[in-house]
Amino acid sequence: MNKTDEKLLDEILGNNVHDADAYNIRKNGEGIERKVNPYIDIVPKEDGSGLDIYVKENTLFGIVHIPVIITESGLTDIVYNDFHIGKNANVIIIAGCGIHNDLHQDSRHDGIHRFYLEEGSKVKYVEKHYGEGKGNGKKVLNPITEITMKKGSYMTMDSVQIKGVDNTIRKTNATLYEDTTLVINEKILTNKDQFAKTDFKISLEKDNASTHITSRSVATNSSYQEFNSNIIGNTKSYAHVECDAIIKDSASVKAVPEIYANHVDANLIHEAAIGKIAGEQLTKLMSLGLTEKEAENSIIHGFLK
């Protein structure tokens, strides 16, 4: 790995990949480093399309890193990673993609991550997307996350995309069975003429399934963002979706809520708010000595923290 690779890994992982209990680093479409242990196995799929990650039942506090880096302009990389989380296992999975594109051809990564949570398992999934480079080739990321949660399982998904990605369509589909909880926190910042669209489709299939989705986004310059969420409550269930966006300059943000209660005990809530930074917030921080620009940055930083 060269310095560019290491910088990309730092951006998406936030810590040293080699400290993880298990990891697989994929660069320009090929696995370049892998580590497994007796509890967490990472197996390449036979057709080369991706990985199967197996976490044994009752594994406690395992940390798994599955980063992808792309430094080759013009490359389209599609990968299917399946995470099989055994009964009562408790793991942290950090994934994401960093693209460095200094040339004029588009670089694209489509990561399809499928999670199968067995009974009583817990997963904290952190996904970060990052793009950099001086060329005018676009950096395109289209992550798809599919989640199946069996009885008593719990999952949080933190998804972050701050600048640098020109075009993204993110899809998250989940099916929740009894006594399960899925918590999703999404943070997106777009600038220039970037495009970001996120689609959530969550089906609450069995009693006491619940989901909490919080999306906070900032759209600046002439960028465009779209937030779609579709929650279906087929049983006694609970959902709370909160979409908040700060809009600046000539950016556009569209939020499309859809909640479908198909059971008398389905309790589904959707809140959406889009607006510019409140003048009173700027005034308060400026009264503490910050310039208008510093105040604005502090508000955005806090909002996306």
Partner 1 sequence: MLELKNICFERDNKKILNNINLKLDTGNFYVVTGPNGSGKSTLAKIIMGIIKPDSGKIILNGEDITDKPLNERAKLGIGFAFQQPVCFKGITVYDLLVMATGKEIDRQEACNILSKVGLCALEYIDREINKSLSGGELKRIEIASVIAKNPYVAIFDEPEAGIDLWSFKNLIEVFKDMEASSKGITLVISHQERILNIADQIILLDQGNIKKIGTKEEMFDSIVNSSVCKKGGPNCE
> Under the criterion CB under 8 A, does residue 286 sit at the interface with partner 1?
yes
Q: Determine the size of the site formed for partner 1 (CB under 8 A).
A: 23
- By CB under 8 A, tell whether 291 contacts partner 1: yes
**Whose CA is closest to 36, among 52, 49, 48?**
52
Residue 213 Cβ vs partner 1, minimum distance, rounded to whole Å: 15
Instruction: Kindly tell me which residue out of 33, 58, 284, 297 binds partner 1, with binding defined by CB under 8 A.
Output: 284
Exactly one of 1, 32, 78, 278 binds partner 1 (CB under 8 A); that residue is 278
216 counts as binding partner 1 under rule CB under 8 A: yes
Distance of CA 270 to the CA centre of its chain: 20
Least distance CB 238 / partner 1 (angstroms): 19
Residue 183 in contact with partner 1, rule: CB under 8 A: no
192: left (phi over 0), alpha (psi -120 to 50) or beta: left
185 counts as binding partner 1 under rule CB under 8 A: no
Closest C-alpha among 71, 16, 22 to residue 43: 22
**Segment near partner 1 (CB under 8 A); pick from 30-38, 87-95, 198-206, 280-288:** 280-288
Residues 210, 181: contact at Cβ < 8 Å?
yes
Report the alpha-carbon distance of residue 22 to residue 34 in Å, rounded. Answer: 7
Q: How far is the CB of 294 from partner 1 (least distance, A)?
A: 8
DSSP string, 195-253: EEEEEEEEEE-STTEEEEEEEEEEE-TT-EEEEEEEEEE-SSEEEEEEEEEEE-TT-EE
Please report whether residue 69 would count as binding partner 1 according to CB under 8 A: no
How many CB atoms within 10 Å of residue 261? 16
78 binds partner 1 (CB under 8 A): no
d(CA 170, CA 49): 20
Whether 43 contacts 51, CB under 8 Å: yes
Task: Check residue 247 for interaction with partner 1 (CB under 8 A).
Answer: no
Is 303 an interacting residue with respect to partner 1 (CB under 8 A)?
A: yes
Q: Is 285 in the site for partner 1 (CB under 8 A)?
A: yes
Q: Is 269 in the site for partner 1 (CB under 8 A)?
A: no
Least distance from partner 1 to the Cβ atom of residue 302, Å? 4
Establish if 271 lies at the interface with partner 1 (CB under 8 A).
Answer: no
The binding site for partner 1 (CB under 8 A) comprises 216, 244, 278, 280-281, 283-292, 295, 298-299, 301-305
